[in-house]
Structure 1
């Protein structure tokens, strides 16, 4: 059967395979995500402000490369090479965390991981868009669903490992989990190398520039995204909130699994729905959900409100991590999807760092409540500004 005719559950073969790759890679990433905040503060003895700054810097670093490598993938029409290289760097860095001895080691390896993400994300998203046959929302929804199912599996694996390896000293336990996290990443590399195919060669248009980025509508949307990103924060802050309320690392992992389960179950139907309605309006709903989630985190004092916060946080991420990618792919010219999608990711990354830095400062100087209140205000402001875009 011809490559372009293959379908799995109504999804193109390439999109399906890239979904499996993201499932495995995110399982790898989320095996370490629940223990990273505790590892920073308990083992490496990093303070609150430094912890928030490090997590924000890590989240931002990847995005600084996305527009660059998105552009390169547009120019060379060889997206698979960038996707493979990015995933390989991330897999290597996660395994090597087992041997980190100080904050600088940790930061260097996490930056390597995020650099890998920066290299692969825009080329991969462009490859998904080129393999979608016009159903970008459905394809990105499926991809985010698979990615997030991996994020559900990862913390559950951690819960299992913590139970099985509970006899180990805490530091040794963390390092053992870091090492095991590389295994699913290695499997994802095999899938990319053997089965994923480039589609960029099918686009005949010669790239003369980045004309889509000159669109006023696109520029205004990116400005709104920048404001909305100031209302985002590293997942670590949600786990620190659970810790502040007296929950253990193991219980925090369960909360994080709940968040990812909500995200996973919502992403695909939201993506499908976005192909039928205004993607821009749906993004506005995402900002409102973000504001609501942050308010719940700010005022959570018991289990019920905390659970609601994680549910709204999952719904918000299902919208914001799915629909804008599809929206940007539709706004982009046929020969510059990598560049335009990369520009979106870069804006998110550039503003994610000051967002986490400010959140870390407010936590250190006052309390986590103020961090979440600021995030809620910025998300609501982004919703209002989107109405004038």
Structure 2
């Protein structure tokens, strides 16, 4: 059964759109890899740094998902977007390979948190009988906005330089924070 407009108005208003709007800042990880290489990391070091990112994302997913079951999912996502903002602002401001590596690995905390808490928030606003369809809808919107963000980031990289990509990401992280504060009630819990 597909989500009907009547069934998903709350879901769209509080779950999917509010959690997904910030995804306009999230573009392909290739830009982080390119920035790591531009900062002077060798190919081997870049692979290790990317592995550190993946490890952190995997390690924080369960605890942050568990936390979002206990406290406001919105608050967990706000913290994730704050980490995203710091990481991307840092990428825009530094060329030091060690700082870039630390920021990339810390970015894994955002990624692991957003994957868990974002889906949980979207799921909590879908009607029980349509939850799988709601998660599918959410993932479709996330993928579409990531594609759009990657195209924009590529254009920025080509025409304004790599720093513009990370300023763009940091600005949209703030937009995401504002969207969550406006669109998702503070008491939005499991």
Q: How high is the TM-score relative to the length of structure 1?
A: 0.44
Distance 1:326 1:261 in 2: 21
Match for 1:231 among 19, 25, 33?
25
Match for 1:285 among 79, 97, 111?
79
| C-alpha contact (below 8 Å) 1:292/1:312 kept by paired residues | no
Q: How much has 1:233 moved relative to structure 2? A: 1.2
| C-alpha contact (below 8 Å) 1:210/1:336 kept by paired residues | no
- Written as runs of structure 1 = structure 2, the 5 A alignment for 1:146-185 is none
1:318 aligns with 2:99: no
Q: How much has 1:310 moved relative to structure 2? A: 1.2
- Written as runs of structure 1 = structure 2, the 5 A alignment for 1:228-307 is 228-307=22-101
1:233 aligns to what SS in structure 2? coil
Distance 1:258 1:208 in 2: 38
Q: How much has 1:383 moved relative to structure 2? A: 0.2
Residues 298/339 of structure 1: CA separation in 2 closer, same or farther (3 Å cut): same
Two-structure CA RMSD over aligned residues (Å): 1.9
Q: How much has 1:226 moved relative to structure 2? A: 4.0
Larger Rg: 1
Specify every segment of 5 or more residues in structure 1 that has no aligned partner in the other structure, as ranges. 1-74, 76-206
Q: Corresponding residue for 1:345?
A: 139
- Written as runs of structure 1 = structure 2, the 5 A alignment for 1:67-216 is 75=1, 209=4, 211-215=6-10
Distance 2:6 2:137 in 1: 13
Q: Corresponding residue for 2:182?
A: 388
Q: How much has 1:307 moved relative to structure 2? A: 2.3
Distance 1:349 1:213 in 2: 19
| C-alpha contact (below 8 Å) 1:296/1:308 kept by paired residues | no
1:246-298 CA distance string (max 9 Å, x none)? 22222211110011111122111111111110112211211111111111211
Distance 2:3 2:156 in 1: 46
Distance 2:120 2:19 in 1: 14
| C-alpha contact (below 8 Å) 2:83/2:107 kept by paired residues | yes
Residues 332/220 of structure 1: CA separation in 2 closer, same or farther (3 Å cut): closer
- Aligned residue pairs total 183
Specify every segment of 5 or more residues in structure 2 that has no aligned partner in the other structure, as ranges. 184-190
Q: How much has 1:350 moved relative to structure 2? A: 1.6
Distance 1:272 1:220 in 2: 20
